[in-house]
Structure 1
Amino acid sequence: MKKLLLIFTLLFVIIHQAKAQDIDSLLMSLDSEAEVPTQLLPDKIMFTQRIFWGERGLMRRTGIMKLNEENRIKELKIRRTMLVTHQVLGYATLAGMIAQGIVGGKLYNGETQLKGTHETLAAAVNIGYFTGAALSLFAPPPLISKQVKGLNSIKAHKILASIHFTAMVATNILAEKAGDPKYAKIHKAAAFTAFGAFAGATIVMKF
């Protein structure tokens, strides 16, 4: 337990420093979106964004956010808040994944008394992960869809996101069968894949 607390303390310090730098960087990029728009919606919008924020999205049809210049400026502020929260939750979830991995390793070594702790951490990680994912997927769209040739940090982040999302779903599906040796290795592999891709997606945004 003392080792776990030490790891959490060190991780918190590292994450706090990285988070401050990344949020500053994110805010600088989002500031450029807060200008008065010349085009109300970008040419390309994610399906999840189109559901709510498209020309015929739920926000438009219900009249909550009619598509006009004034509301688009408000939406960009909402987008800023959602993406910053998404980023903060990402770091917290990563810390939870590390703790869950440590406890999970002890479970595989026969320390069954930690099963309750592992399940609690799993619940916290799932809440943080899927809440963060929803904030990113359903945030209002930016002013423009930037098309950059070649691989960059944003494209790498999206590729890794698709991997860790799939792995997280698989990990949760296999969780109930993890006690069966036939599924235990698959569950472990899915969990490590989710963690590796998630950590990578977090790291690439720093470059």
Structure 2
Amino acid sequence: MRTILLITLLGLGSMSLIRAQTVPADTLAPVEKSDNLLADLDDSTSLQELLPHKMIITQRIFWGQKGLLRRTNLAPLTPEGRERELRIRRTMLVSHQVMGFITLAGFVAQGLVGAKLYNATGDQYGRLLNVHSSLAAGINLAYVTTALLSLTAPPKMIGERRGFSSIKLHKYLAVAHMAGMIATNILASSIENHPELKPYHRAAAYTTFGAFALSVVAIKF
């Protein structure tokens, strides 16, 4: 259940990739305000220009102007700091892609074992079930790691371009395979007491694999 809950939370973060929050524009100060207030506003504006106007909620929590890493001074919002963050972002997104391929390989192995499991009997069924369960645990771990590398990476410097793109397709597919992962895990935990759910579990698993595979392909083009 912990895995299902964590994947659900990641699902909410993934959905925010589609509908990112917009930072409201700064309000202009009246002319009669003091010089100190004007200076503070100028500083706030210059700092805000270092960040994109749209960030997903997980990025805002850690990397926003008032995020945890800013408040603790672990990542001060400065031009030099943003340069370092962009390098960190690149490393995390490259790792995200690598983990995506590892997870995809796990899905393929799980599918092969699962296909044999549906027709297995006796001792063979027990052995395959253990392998299937171990693979499921590994895939869940790899999947969550892959998602976190993307959802918690520092934000990019500029906003996303308007119009359809392979990045947006990748994000839409992420919502689909995230929902599939949640459904697959829920159904897997119920099969033992409700074997009639096996076809639905298999359908959810295949749908998840298809959406995940397409999302991996989309990011390469």
The size of the alignment, in residue pairs, is: 170
**Unmatched segments (≥5 aa) in structure 2:** 1-46
**More RCO (CA 8 Å, sep 6+):** 2
Aligned match for 1:187, one of 201, 205, 218: 201
Q: Which residue does the alignment assign to 1:202? A: 216
Distance 1:184 1:72 in 2: 49
Moved over 2 A (4+): 178-182
Asked if 1:141 is matched to 2:151, the reply is no
TM-score (norm 2): 0.73
State the structure with more CA Rg. 2
TM-score by length of 1: 0.78
Asked if residue 166 in structure 1 is aligned to residue 179 in structure 2, the reply is: yes
Distance 2:89 2:134 in 1: 31
Which residue identity is paired with 2:154? P
| Partner in structure 2 of residue 177 of structure 1 | 190
Partner residue in 2 for 1:153: 166
For residues 217 and 191 of structure 2, the distance between their equivalents in structure 1, rounded to whole angstroms, comes to: 29
Distance 1:115 1:102 in 2: 12
CA RMSD of aligned residues (A): 1.6
Checking the alignment, whether the CA contact within 8 Å between 1:42 and 1:143 is kept in structure 2 is yes
Matching of residue 47 in structure 1 with residue 57 in structure 2: yes
Instruction: Give the structure 2 partner of residue 33 of structure 1.
Output: none
3-state SS of the aligned residue for 1:146?
A: coil
Identity %: 52
Q: Which residue of 2 aligns with 1:132?
A: 146
Q: Is the 8 A contact 1:82 1:136 kept in 2?
A: yes
- Greater mean alpha carbon deviation, residues 85-94 or residues 174-183: 174-183
Aligned partners of 1:124 and 1:181: how far apart in 2? 23
Measured after TM superposition, the shift of residue 38 of structure 1 is 10
Distance 1:170 1:69 in 2: 43
Residue segments in structure 1 that go unaligned for 5+ positions in a row: 1-36
